[in-house]
Structure 1
């Protein structure tokens, strides 16, 4: 029974932003399981509102119950009520977009964002899932993880998201070490081309990295001279957030 539950939970993980819909047979083939088993799982999830089936295509996608659960998690983390004002103040000060990335396994998930008021800006959707090895917001979390966890992530392979993604294992390890020593990360076009990111980690009360806060925007607005200014503004916001997070985590 536990094996069946494990398979069912893995099935849900195939519904991503890049692949939001699946047919029964194509999902069964992807998961290397029988069509009958996949169908039963899909029907069960649909009955409980976690999935819904499109009437025309007969394909399945995530249901509104998932959105409900997401709202519950956001409430528990006190993101909107407590952390959002800090992010808004940082956006007003820097003129750039600010986003909060929460650690989830070997990925980062954007759980809150304050968009820049400028006409040209970096935009990211809440709920976006990104690998820890790409971009400042993710690498600044990964840099503080135990080395055995880092190596386990590397063993899964590094898939470049842009030509600027560090896809060489040794180069990435060196970069993570540099980030850890500095206490912040800076990237240019690693996950999305033509954008910059300046990020710092957020730790829980035990000192474990749980999230990151990032200033991001088009790279033409960021010069090497402006980076220290961004880092200083970010550090002050992180200090405020740390006091909050360490009380609720």
Structure 2
């Protein structure tokens, strides 16, 4: 390809990417409303969008006509309007947690070199629905469709920490019947609660050389817009090349992946760190 052709292609590509600046500027007001999560006065909203109030007002007038923004009669505060709400509901109805998570899980596996599994809460408990292999041989019994022990695996404990207690009590009994006492390894209620509290404290669950010797893992939760856990992201690797510190590289990578997928599903309050 000649230099002239390459330059022409770059120009064409740039034209395709070029948007309408006024639309992008006005969109900052909508993003600011969504980020703050509450009705806001004009001056405060304009400041949040890094815009002068005089410039923000015409945008808000147009957004109000479209139903994207509404203005409270009693306070004059601005908030997201019925059209914005409807668009959000349509998006949420179309979201598929596993489909949204796959690109992030694949990227996590590629960046770390370790194995990554996606799991959901199925009829029999935490179930693996997608698996990305490590770049090296990793000997585990995990396959797509594998139902994980609730108390005996990082994936299981991660779900148990965020699901309703009554559901977990019943599932623990099923866990023992399904897997047998040698695999399910019944645990005292007090110890179980301590493990679940640890998960909630750190935002991830951890397994070190258990249930598979030589394999460690961190499992991070994925929440939807209503704050319910809908998915798990489990990062697994060989002990000798896996950072098992709660604030280490692997824990942070798994947690960041879960947080990003949660954000895609409309969850606002998750924090990484």
When the two structures are superposed, what TM-score results if normalisation uses the length of structure 1?
Answer: 0.59
Aligned to 1:139: 157
Aligned to 1:6: none
Aligned pairs, how many? 171
Aligned to 2:264: 244
Aligned to 2:134: 116
Q: Give the CA deviation at 1:167.
A: 3.0
> Could you tell me whether the CA contact under 8 Å between 1:106 and 1:131 is conserved in 2?
no
Q: Give the CA deviation at 1:78.
A: 6.3
Distance verdict in 2 for CA 1:226–1:147, change over 3 Å: closer
Kindly report which structure 2 residues correspond to 1:1-249, keeping only aligned pairs within 5 A, or say none. Answer: 77=96, 79-80=98-99, 82-120=100-138, 122=140, 124-156=142-174, 158=176, 159-160=180-181, 162=183, 165=185, 167-225=187-245, 228-246=248-266
Q: Which has the higher helix share?
A: 2
Q: Give the CA deviation at 1:156.
A: 4.4
When the two structures are superposed, what TM-score results if normalisation uses the length of structure 2?
Answer: 0.54
Aligned to 2:88: none
Distance verdict in 2 for CA 1:160–1:213, change over 3 Å: farther
Which stretches in structure 1 are left out of the alignment for 5+ residues? 1-74
Distance verdict in 2 for CA 1:182–1:238, change over 3 Å: same
Q: State how far apart, in whole Å, the 2-side matches of 1:121 and 1:109 are.
A: 19
Distance verdict in 2 for CA 1:189–1:161, change over 3 Å: farther
Which stretches in structure 2 are left out of the alignment for 5+ residues? 1-93, 268-273
Q: What does the per-residue CA deviation read over 1:104-161, in whole Å, with 9 as the maximum and x for residues that have no partner?
A: 1451111111111123465631111223222111211110112222222334464455
Q: State how far apart, in whole Å, the 2-side matches of 1:150 and 1:91 are.
A: 30
Q: State how far apart, in whole Å, the 2-side matches of 1:172 and 1:226 are.
A: 19
Q: State how far apart, in whole Å, the 1-side matches of 2:197 and 2:233 are.
A: 19
Choose 228-237 or 151-160, whichever is displaced more: 151-160
Q: What does the per-residue CA deviation read over 1:73-119, in whole Å, with 9 as the maximum and x for residues that have no partner?
A: xx983635x42221111112211000101011451111111111123
Q: State how far apart, in whole Å, the 1-side matches of 2:173 and 2:143 are.
A: 28
Q: Give the CA deviation at 1:194.
A: 2.8
Choose 205-214 or 191-200, whichever is displaced more: 191-200
Distance verdict in 2 for CA 1:208–1:79, change over 3 Å: closer
Q: Considering only aligned residues, what root-mean-square deviation do their CA atoms show, in Å?
A: 2.9
